């Protein structure tokens, strides 16, 4: 690899991180800005072409795993039906609709190849939608449905894509064999995921070292994905299953493991997501070069039709999938007497932004495949079009519909306050037992400090129900305590740095005492 190649290799993440940093500071949508930046820089790197193996083997597993460990298994279980209808039913429906429209407009393209395009553009990438949904305060159920869909829809789409590609290349796959292969991949992914999750959970429980545990967790998504793919099962489903199980058991790990895990995966997500969205925009130039000699008006009309079919297929599917199960199945109707608010249905129906997985699948189409260049172009238009049109209008739609999670926030704060009160009571009772048993020679001052801290944690939770302010907008005692303690710690850090600069303490000593202050600040209750 020459120096120019190394520079180009480093240039993409550097520019992507810089653009993302600007977007975060300004409060803009980072995915949209990164795609636009990629489009702008595409002519500068005309020779770059997306490597599908890089996306499917390097980017996809850790992003799926991170989303899974951050998700709630219990919440996903509660929305299992809508998630299944979106991640399986909608993906297959979109595959059929887009494939039929494409074959209708391009009769020279084999039907199986048209279905391959449908499978490629079928799975939405909910990264951008979920980020906006959380920032604007969408109800938790809607966010959970979008997250659950994004976790499992790639598996459905990639399996349907492989079947369609094999049928196009004349490998003799019939409907029965295709259905059997699909079910085997899905079931195999679940089995491999559960088996590996059990073994990995057993290993993680016995490591008892935060650094080693998190290092192992960094390797888990790649190992699980490869293990499932080796037996021709769905690596996507296997990674998601393992992530959900590990995330569900993470509260039982040591505090160091959890603190380090949160920091590590935040960085991994930030780097991978910024680079991925930048890569989407960078594909403009190689795709346009592959279309030399094609009629631009014909391509534009075809792209518009495929884009419209992709967007409308989701809208057409979402409404019946919400109401038909309640109409046809009495058990569901009794369990859910009222359907979801229509505003929530509209938001889910519009959250269909496509992402880099679609482009990776398109670039993985073998050379010599019928209409490969046109399929690449159509995929690119759908991805860019949904990111720009739906992505830019998504925040406006949420505000326009006046959807919020204020009631959920209040209920969460109330539940947290009650839980903190119960935990404080248990802690104080245990402290009384230890003092009464004479376990240690404890000074009254120490006991008083422990009592004060337990009571302050419970008091802070109750104060948050009032918005964190006193009766006339004054600061509550807990808020004052946190503010003053942070000011004190800032003064302490300045002293330690000054003493280090004067040569009175070594860097190692300064790092040790500053680390203790950092840890204390991290334990302060949130504002």
Residue 170 placed within a domain: yes
Token pair of 139, please? Answer: 């109800």
- The answer to whether residues 98 and 243 belong to one domain is yes
Spatial distance between the Cα atoms of 507 and 420, rounded to a whole number of angstroms: 39
Instruction: Quote the pLDDT of residue 520.
Output: 75
Residue 394 lies in a domain: yes
Domain-located, residue 4: no
- pTM of the prediction? 0.79
Q: How many domains does the chain contain in total?
A: 3
Write the CB contacts of 292 (distance below 8 Å, at least 6 apart in sequence): none
Count Cα neighbours of 335 within 13 Å in the Cβ-side half-sphere.
9
pLDDT in tens, 305-346: 999 999 999 999 998 888 888 877 878 777 777 778 888 899
Beta strands in 140-180 (DSSP E): none
**Helix and strand tally (H, E) in the chain?**
25, 0
**Residue pLDDT, tens place only, 153-173:** 888 898 888 888 888 887 555
Domain boundary among the residues 349, 381, 404 is at 404
Same domain, 67 and 100: yes
The string of DSSP letters for 76-141 reads HHHTHHHHHIIIIIIHHHHHHHHHHHHHHH-TTS-HHHHHHHHHHH-S--THHHHHHHHHTT--HH
**5 within domain boundaries:** no
Instruction: Report the distance separating Cα 195 and Cα 201, nearest Å.
Output: 10
User: Which has the closest alpha carbon to 392: 41, 63, 36?
Assistant: 36
426 three-state secondary structure: helix
Does the residue 151 lie in any domain?
yes
Do residues 457 and 489 both lie within one domain? no
For residue 46, the SS3 value is coil
Q: Compute the distance between CA of residue 104 and CA of residue 114 in angstroms, rounded to an integer.
A: 9
**Which of 286, 291, 304, 276 minimizes the C-alpha distance to 360?**
276
Same domain, 284 and 182: yes
Residues 490 and 388 in one domain: no
Token pair in block for residue 238 = 């296997």
Q: What contacts 84, CB < 8 A, 6 or more positions away?
A: 152
Tens-digit pLDDT profile for the chain (527 aa)?
556 556 666 778 888 899 989 988 887 778 888 888 888 887 777 667 777 888 888 888 998 898 888 887 778 888 888 999 999 999 999 999 999 999 999 998 889 899 999 999 999 886 666 766 666 677 888 888 888 888 888 888 988 888 888 888 875 556 667 678 778 888 899 999 999 999 998 888 888 788 898 899 999 999 999 999 999 888 889 999 999 998 888 877 777 788 788 888 889 988 988 888 888 888 877 788 777 777 888 889 999 999 999 999 999 999 888 888 887 787 877 777 777 888 889 989 998 888 888 888 888 888 888 888 899 899 989 998 998 888 888 888 888 888 877 676 667 667 767 777 777 788 778 877 777 776 556 667 777 777 777 777 677 666 666 554 444 456 666 677 777 878 888 888 888 888 888 888 877 777 788 877 787 777 775 54
Res 413: pLDDT: 67
User: Are residue 447 and residue 513 in the same domain, yes or no?
Assistant: no
What pLDDT does 527 receive? 42
d(CA 510, CA 497): 7
CA–CA separation, 352 vs 315, rounded Å? 9
> Is residue 132 located within the same domain as residue 281?
yes
One domain for residues 192 and 269: yes
Pair 278, 379 in one domain: yes
In a domain, 2, yes or no: no
Residues in the chain: 527
DSSP code string of 339-380 = PPPHHHHHHHHH-----HHHHHHHHTSPTT-TTHHHHHHHHH
Dist CA 86 CA 91 (whole Å): 7
- Please give the Cα distance from 352 to 150 (Å, whole number): 10
For residue 212, CA distances in Å to 206, 207, 271 come to 11, 7, 22
Nearest to 403 by CA among 351, 353, 463: 351
What CATH number is associated with residue 184?
1.20.1530.20
92, part of any domain: yes
What is the spatial distance between Cα 56 and Cα 281, in angstroms, rounded to a whole number?
18
Of the residues 371, 404, 437, the one at which a domain ends: 404
Same domain, 367 and 434: no
* Partners of 475 in beta bridges: 469
Domain boundary among 404, 420, 442: 404
List 469's β-bridge partners, or say none.
475
Report the distance separating Cα 480 and Cα 203, nearest Å.
Answer: 44
Place of tokens 């040569």: 503
Q: Residue 15 carries which DSSP code?
A: H
Both 113 and 202 in a single domain? Answer: yes
Tokens representing 366? Answer: 């073998």
Same domain, 111 and 193: yes
List the domain range (segments joined by +) for residue 206.
Answer: 11-404
Burial of 415 (0-12, 13-18, 19+ CB in 10 A): exposed
Q: What is the pLDDT of residue 192?
A: 94
Burial label, 406 (beta-carbon count in 10 A; 0-12, 13-18, 19+): exposed
- Indicate whether 337 belongs to any domain: yes
């Amino acid at each position: 690899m020459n120096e120019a190649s190394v520079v180009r290799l480093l240039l993409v993440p550097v520019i992507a991180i810089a653009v993302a940093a600007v977007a975060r500071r300004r409060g803009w949508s980072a995915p949209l800005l990164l795609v636009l930046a990629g489009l702008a820089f595409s002519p500068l790197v005309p020779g770059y072409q997306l490597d599908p193996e890089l996306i499917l083997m390097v980017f996809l597993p850790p992003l799926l795993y991170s989303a899974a460990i951050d998700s709630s298994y219990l919440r996903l279980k509660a929305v299992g039906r809508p998630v299944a209808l979106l991640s399986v039913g909608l993906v297959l429906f979109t595959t059929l609709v887009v494939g039929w429209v494409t074959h209708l407009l391009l009769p020279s393209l084999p039907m199986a190849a048209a279905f391959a395009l449908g499978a490629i553009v079928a799975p939405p990438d909910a990264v951008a939608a979920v980020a906006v949904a959380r920032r604007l305060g969408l109800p938790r159920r809607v966010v959970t449905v979008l997250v659950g869909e994004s976790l499992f829809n790639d598996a459905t789409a990639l399996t349907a894509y492989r079947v369609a590609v094999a049928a196009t290349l004349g490998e003799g796959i019939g409907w029965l064999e295709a259905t059997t292969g699909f079910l085997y991949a899905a079931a195999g992914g679940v089995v491999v995921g559960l088996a590996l999750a059990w073994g990995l959970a057993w290993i993680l429980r016995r490591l008892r070292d935060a650094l080693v545990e998190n290092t192992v967790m960094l390797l888990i998504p790649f190992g699980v994905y490869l293990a499932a793919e080796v037996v021709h099962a769905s690596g996507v489903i296997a990674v998601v299953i393992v992530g959900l199980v590990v995330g569900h058991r993470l509260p039982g790990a040591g505090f160091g493991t959890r603190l380090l895990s949160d920091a590590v995966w935040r960085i991994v997500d930030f780097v991978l997501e910024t680079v991925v969205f930048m890569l989407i925009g960078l594909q403009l130039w190689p795709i346009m070069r592959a279309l030399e000699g094609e009629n631009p008006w014909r391509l534009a009309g075809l792209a518009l039709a495929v884009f419209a079919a992709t967007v409308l297929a989701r809208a057409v599917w979402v409404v019946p999938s919400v109401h038909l199960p309640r109409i046809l199945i009495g058990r569901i109707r009794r369990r859910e007497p009222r359907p979801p608010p229509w505003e929530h249905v509209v938001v889910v129906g519009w959250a269909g932004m496509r992402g880099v997985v679609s482009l990776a699948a398109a670039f993985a189409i073998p050379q010599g495949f019928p209409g490969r260049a046109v399929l690449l172009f159509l995929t690119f238009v759908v991805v860019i079009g949904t990111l720009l049109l739906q992505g830019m209008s998504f925040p406006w739609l949420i505000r326009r519909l006046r959807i919020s999670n204020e009631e959920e926030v209040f209920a969460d704060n109330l539940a947290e306050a009650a839980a903190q009160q119960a935990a404080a009571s248990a802690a104080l009772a245990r402290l009384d037992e230890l003092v009464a048993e004479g376990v240690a020679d404890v000074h009254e001052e120490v006991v008083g400090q422990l009592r004060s801290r337990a009571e302050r944690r419970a008091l802070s939770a109750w104060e948050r129900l009032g918005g964190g302010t006193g009766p006339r907008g004054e600061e509550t005692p807990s808020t004052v305590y946190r503010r003053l303690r942070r000011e004190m710690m800032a003064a302490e850090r300045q002293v330690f740095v000054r003493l280090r600069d004067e040569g009175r303490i070594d860097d190692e000593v300064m790092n040790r005492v500053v680390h203790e202050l950092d840890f204390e600040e991290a334990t302060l209750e949130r504002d």
